[in-house]
Structure 1
Amino acid sequence: MSSRFRPLPLLDRLAPSDAHPLAGGPVLFTHVEDRESGDICRLADLPNDIRAALTAPRAPLAGLSMDRPRVMGILNVTPDSFSDGGQHFSVRAAVARGRAMLAEGADILDIGGESTRPGAAEVPVAEEIARVVPVIEALAAETRAPISIDTRKARVAEAALAAGATLVNDVSAMSFDPEIAAVTAEAGAALCLMHAQGTPETMQEAPRYDDVLGEVADYLAERVSAAIDAGIAKDRVCVDPGIGFGKNLLHNLALLRGIALYHGLGCPILLGASRKRFIGTVSNVTEPGERMPGSLGVALAAAAQGVQILRVHDVAETAQALRLWAAIGQGESYGT
């Protein structure tokens, strides 16, 4: 299967003539790692269907072209999220922050009303709806930028889509509430499928894998197939390896090091690593709000592997870093 082959991105745009864009984006590659055999193979020697899965341009997702890294601004309408809980808990504060992130360069907003930090308790459906719907309605009325609803629950997704959201970001990949698939399909919305081992309440209790990179790939492949079976077109699906969701430090680093593997699934890749604990562990920074420099380092490393969507708290800083990354690597002004 194509998700066993990990593309090896080139570090310079002055690439050999046989280099191809990775998933149709700005990153080029000529070789892949065959994780089954351990061999390094030429892209040109792979079967046609596998080459196509790795090189074909991704269709626009929620109206956004996937030809360059996109910035997804995190907007938590919660009192208890790990980094910014309570800062945007009122509708007025949340709408103001959403406007600010769009002005700072966010391509899409991800609005959530339930914290999924380690140890977080479930929020009742009615309360979650009451938190997010007024914010989505207000922002959807004044912007054409796409809005994502960060939820595990079908009824919350349904209300959010009716209010103007166009993407469902489900950290449970349809396993918490299977009806979310039908809701998404009926609305013609996009869907992000994330890998998690366990639930927010239990996920950091000694997570274990034999091969975290491969096991996450197999899980996401199965979930993509389930979404298609539920009536959601593949070109409306993206995948997220779930950094910090049932993973320890070494698991997170392995996923980031090999994240290009997930291009073989044929879907855009979304990465949510902003301000997470592993960044603080590596950099010896305790407070989540002080992990912006480390978050930028992770974002640029992911962009260099062709990741299409970066879910971040620090929008202005990430957008600026990506402009410089593109200008240096491609000899052009980013985003123009």
Structure 2
Amino acid sequence: MTPQNRGLTIAAVLVTASGLIAGAAEASAEPDAATEFAAAVLPAAQAAFADATLVHTDHEVLPGQLPGTTVDLTAAMFKTGPRGSALVTRQVGGVTAVNTTGRDAQVSRTAGGEMTSLRWTERAGVNYQVTVRGEVQPETLRTLARALPADHSTPSAGEAVAPATDMIPAGTGDGFVAGAGAWTDDLDDEADLSRTSSYRHSNYVGVWQMILQVDAPHLPPTEVDCDFGPTTEQYTKYWQNWQNIGPSGALDASTRKRAQRFLALEYTVSDGSDYGYYLGLESNIFIHRHGPNISPAYRWDVQSVNHNDWHGAAYGYANFLGCRA
């Protein structure tokens, strides 16, 4: 996949009470799509959440919902408090209408109550979604939506390249993190991970390390090496304590069940595959969940937070950039 602007964070832009200013090291005469979107969304986010601060922006060109189309996906993520975050996304191009009620659309909440979403069609070919992690009233999402400026976006000239499907190395089997239907139960039947597990060196471990990186307690990027060592064990305990789970230090059933509450769907493609994300406190992790026609069916491909490369969430090999050999 060819990301247009993956990983522009607070290091590249400074957020002030009066708006968003390009950082001196990254300044340019023409702001990119992600920066412009964040500048437009920031006042709306602060109208809904007084303490909202920008932590991450993104611009991707992805395969569209309709065959032969593309979607410009632009995102701005805000921290809303010690345990909360909000992600505002805009889909432009090959999308189908979400609803006809506009910014006053029905607010939905996941079964665990951890994620609350508002989705609407701004105009033909333009959909928006606001997803909030943590406790929030439905009207707060509508406040943010109503405060957004009128949208005049047009699709970019970028050509979508679907996330690459890994060629599965011989002898590694076909084990992948996978799921179908609701995203919030995808991890229920996955294996445990620990320093002694059979899969302690794998892309599956890398995905868990990315979650620890974008969430509290913020695993250092250099530790995302696809190896479940003592540092990953310690940060897993930190995360478990933060989430009021027994600190086993392993990615066990209770930890997976808790983590999957922060998964959310972005949109579904005509081939039955989905795009979604894990919504952390400092960033989000994009996930492409394949449809039934890719073998293995319903497997996860995940975009690396640090390097932007897409790979399968595999049990049997580790090939994210930055993974230990």
TM range (shorter): under 0.3
Q: Between Structure 1 and Structure 2, which shows a larger proportion of helix residues?
A: 1
Q: State TM-score, norm by structure 2.
A: 0.27
Q: State TM-score, norm by structure 1.
A: 0.26
